Amino acid sequence: MSDFLTEPLPLILLGPILRRSEEKQVCVWLACSKPVSIRITVLRFDDLTKGQAKPLGSGIAKSIQLGQHLHVALVVARPIAINDLDKFPTDELLAYDIEVADDSGKTTTLKDSGLLSGANSIVYSGNGASLPTFFLAGKDIPLNLLHGSCRKLHGKGEDCLFAADEVIASSFADLKRRPSALFLTGDQVYADDVAKPLANYVTQLGIKLLGWEEQVRGVNRKLSQIKPGDRQKVIKEFARFTAGHAGNHLLGFGEFVAMYMVAWNAENWPVDLSNARKMPFGERRKYIRHIKQLEETRRDLATVRRVLANTPTYMIFDDHEITDDWNITREWHDNVADSECGKQIITNGLAAYWAFQGWGNDPSLYNDHFIGKIVEYFGKRGNLPESEIQEFEDFLWNFHGWSFSAPSNPLTIFVDCRTQRQYDTFKGPPQIVGEEALLSISRIAEDSNFKKGDPLIVVVPTPVLGFYLIEVLQKLLAMIISVYAVDLESWFANTVGRIRFLTFLLQTLAPKHCIFLSGDVHFGFTIKAAFAPLQEGYGHDDIISITQLNSSALKTTSLVKIAFVSEILGRIRQIFPFKRLVRTGRLDRLRSLVGRRHPDWVEARTIVSASGSILPPLLISDNNIGYVTIERDLSRIVHKFLVRKATKETRIYETIVRTDGGRSPLEDNVNARISKYVVKQS
């Protein structure tokens, strides 16, 4: 095993990661190997370069203990009142510094940790920076965002967070171009699909971080005794999961924690990933390929760490943070809920998600009671009576406060689309968001002072408006094979849930324009759309204008996918004359049998061609990260797909959605259908 497991651990294990940042607070997250007190100082970048580093704000936080060598902290800087103003400035380059003090009183700075220079530097020193930097977007410049999902460490292709690093470096002081936030929209880690060369190390690292080895109920072996590749049977029989590539599925809390450690910091990796000669001959080729892909990931992790340190980052889970197919059907949910093993694994995954992702999205969502429950539970090192285990698992299973808002303009609401689902049938596809989720969206909008008619950004891991041909094909395949085999949990798969969600947005929030940011499906695209209900009480003004922006995957492509998605389905979509698709539908087919003939809803959509090649593509099937620019008057939305090629060059594909100039042709299409079907109430 690597020296990392046998020698003393460094003080800073992970981070700093810049999290929620707004005029009233700047949050930075770290993981350390000892209990620490952390001080943050926020400064003006211009003052820093002139040697006049007068603090704009500061804060102190103590770490919380989740393991013997695992202490995590979220330190919050508050602005210092200057000239009666108690806000951090907007549209101005800022910097921050961190000091970490252990129990002995010894203080370690970022410089002491080797993070301000050399191979592990988190600063853009080529632009004159000596500390990590960021800015808060105000009202005077366009809103620039990066977004992406699905980053598997042994995924094929290049890691597109490297392209994010290039964007920040090239626009360092140009705040009209530099991204003010990074939205990670799901599958930041793959708990169910861990590469065999890394599997045993992740288990051992988790044990070292916790200082004890967790016993998973139903599994009569220690985690360290399960050979790499042998967990598929465990999760199927004992956890009742349905993931298909789960030979090294994470089970223990320490393993989930260790996965985050290696996902975002190359210094936490083993020196050597193992010798392929130890593998059975039939597995050797795949093992060698995974080593190559992992080493490519390790090579770029310094840039990933720099991106996370210099860009306010917001993260929502999809399924792979926990397990593939998480809550895909009522059958799945109930089977796992009845499994002690399954409940324990999901609880471990949720606790790790909170500690490494959720906490920094909005600290106000997690009170002392919530944090104390997690600290107390893992502080007992697995020595708990069954009643306490069940109580804690129920506590996290029934916690549905994962949705949150990000302080952008327009407002952004991130929606938990996994734990608040609604099921119409036992084995059929779910409503992605149920009644509880809709109420939470409404509450978040109200708490964020959202006003009806304002534009709105909504982050949902899976695209609300997907690529129609693929969604139809997926639904047909599910009827032939199974829901689980084809991951049938798209919005398209459950029409009632999708129409209910869109109608809710129209009725409750009535945004001037709604922008959906999504990932999940492993290709990128831009769709412009309009939607309206066709029911009594609705008329020509009741239309919601939509732009769907999808970017995926950050790292996990394949030649088969590229050929099928881009060169077959994408080209078919271009050749045949349905680039603009107008659809109507009924929420209940039985109503047509009792005299109701007209539909309940109408939508029109068009997929936007991307520039960047001789034959403009509709779908980007290479690994990509989305770079979004939203003009302040909402007249134009630019969606660039940054694709890092094997040649180490970055290719850019660009789509543009124009929203000015009155009603769009799509809204005219919808209005035509409204005129045909709707009679307003008198």
Which residues share a beta bridge with 216? none
Q: What is the pLDDT of residue 179?
A: 98
Give the mean pLDDT of 238-260: 96
Most confident of 10-14, 139-143, 529-533: 10-14
Q: What is the pLDDT of residue 392?
A: 97
Q: What is the pLDDT of residue 149?
A: 98
Domain with CATH 2.60.40.10 in the chain: 3-115
Q: What is the pLDDT of residue 282?
A: 75
Tokens matching residue 351:
């606790």
The pLDDT mean for the chain works out to 90
Among 423, 421, 414, 449, smallest CA distance to 437 is for 421
pLDDT digits (tens, 9 = 90+) for 266-316: 999 998 887 666 777 778 889 999 999 999 999 999 999 999 999 999 999
Give the mean pLDDT of 605-622: 85
Q: Is the pLDDT of residue 680 over 70?
A: no
For 18, the enclosing helix (H) or strand (E) is strand 12-22
**499 phi/psi in degrees, rounded to 5:** -65, -35
Q: What is the pLDDT of residue 53?
A: 78
- Would you give the DSSP letter of residue 648? S
Please indicate whether residue 556 or residue 570 has the higher confidence score (pLDDT). 556
SS3 of residue 262 by DSSP: helix
Among 243, 454, 481, smallest CA distance to 342 is for 243
Tokens matching residue 542:
């009741």
Q: How far apart (Å, rounded) are the C-alpha atoms in residues 111 and 134?
A: 18
CATH architecture of residue range(s) 3-115 = Sandwich (2.60)
Q: Is the pLDDT of residue 576 over 70?
A: no
Among 569, 657, 554, smallest CA distance to 146 is for 554
Give the mean pLDDT of 613-630: 89
Give the mean pLDDT of 87-91: 95
CA 557: distance to chain centroid? 18
CB 79 within 8 A of CB 23: yes
Q: How far apart (Å, rounded) are the C-alpha atoms in residues 633 and 255?
A: 47
CB 323 within 8 A of CB 246: yes
pLDDT range class, residue 577, cuts 50, 70, 90: very low
Q: How far apart (Å, rounded) are the C-alpha atoms in residues 445 and 510?
A: 11
Q: What is the pLDDT of residue 599?
A: 77
Q: What is the pLDDT of residue 280?
A: 75
**Bond before 646 cis per omega within 30 degrees:** no
pLDDT range class, residue 1, cuts 50, 70, 90: very low
Long-range contacts of 568-576 (CB under 8 A, 24+ apart): 569/467, 569/469, 569/470, 569/473, 569/619, 570/617, 570/618, 570/619, 570/621, 572/469, 573/467, 573/469, 573/607, 573/618, 574/609, 574/618
Encoded amino acid at 608, one letter: V
pLDDT digits (tens, 9 = 90+) for 98-134: 999 998 889 999 999 999 999 999 999 988 889 999 9
Q: What is the pLDDT of residue 5?
A: 82
Q: How far apart (Å, rounded) are the C-alpha atoms in residues 597 and 677?
A: 10
Give the mean pLDDT of 550-575: 66
Whole-structure pTM value: 0.94
Give the mean pLDDT of 495-521: 95
Q: What is the pLDDT of residue 284?
A: 86
pLDDT digits (tens, 9 = 90+) for 54-70: 899 999 999 999 999 99
Q: What is the pLDDT of residue 476?
A: 85
Q: Is the pLDDT of residue 676 over 90?
A: no
Q: What is the pLDDT of residue 539?
A: 65
Q: How far apart (Å, rounded) are the C-alpha atoms in residues 91 and 637?
A: 20
CA 19: distance to chain centroid? 13
Q: What is the pLDDT of residue 50?
A: 84
pLDDT digits (tens, 9 = 90+) for 384-418: 999 999 999 999 999 999 999 999 999 999 999 99
Q: How far apart (Å, rounded) are the C-alpha atoms in residues 527 and 202?
A: 40
Q: How far apart (Å, rounded) are the C-alpha atoms in residues 527 and 608?
A: 6
Please indicate whether residue 39 or residue 3 has the higher confidence score (pLDDT). 39
Q: How far apart (Å, rounded) are the C-alpha atoms in residues 90 and 172?
A: 16
Q: What is the pLDDT of residue 61?
A: 98
Q: Is the pLDDT of residue 571 over 60?
A: no
Q: What is the pLDDT of residue 379?
A: 96
- Would you give the DSSP letter of residue 342? H
Cβ-based neighbours of 226, under 8 Å, separated by 6 or more: 219, 234
The proportion of the chain whose per-residue pLDDT surpasses 70, expressed as a percent, equals 90
Q: What is the pLDDT of residue 674?
A: 66
Encoded amino acid at 43, one letter: L
Q: How far apart (Å, rounded) are the C-alpha atoms in residues 198 and 203?
A: 9
Tokens matching residue 479:
């009827």
CB 436 within 8 A of CB 500: no
Cβ-based neighbours of 250, under 8 Å, separated by 6 or more: 191, 192, 194, 202, 256, 259, 345, 348, 349
CB 467 within 8 A of CB 191: no
Tokens matching residue 444:
């978040």
b or e along 123-135 (b: 16 or more beta carbons within 10 Å of the residue's beta carbon)? bbeeeebbbbbbb
* Torsion sign across C-alpha atoms 113, 114, 120, 121: positive
Q: What is the pLDDT of residue 578?
A: 47
pLDDT digits (tens, 9 = 90+) for 239-248: 999 998 899 9
pLDDT digits (tens, 9 = 90+) for 302-359: 999 999 999 999 999 999 999 999 999 999 999 999 999 999 999 999 999 999 999 9
pLDDT range class, residue 215, cuts 50, 70, 90: very high
Q: Is the pLDDT of residue 581 over 80?
A: no
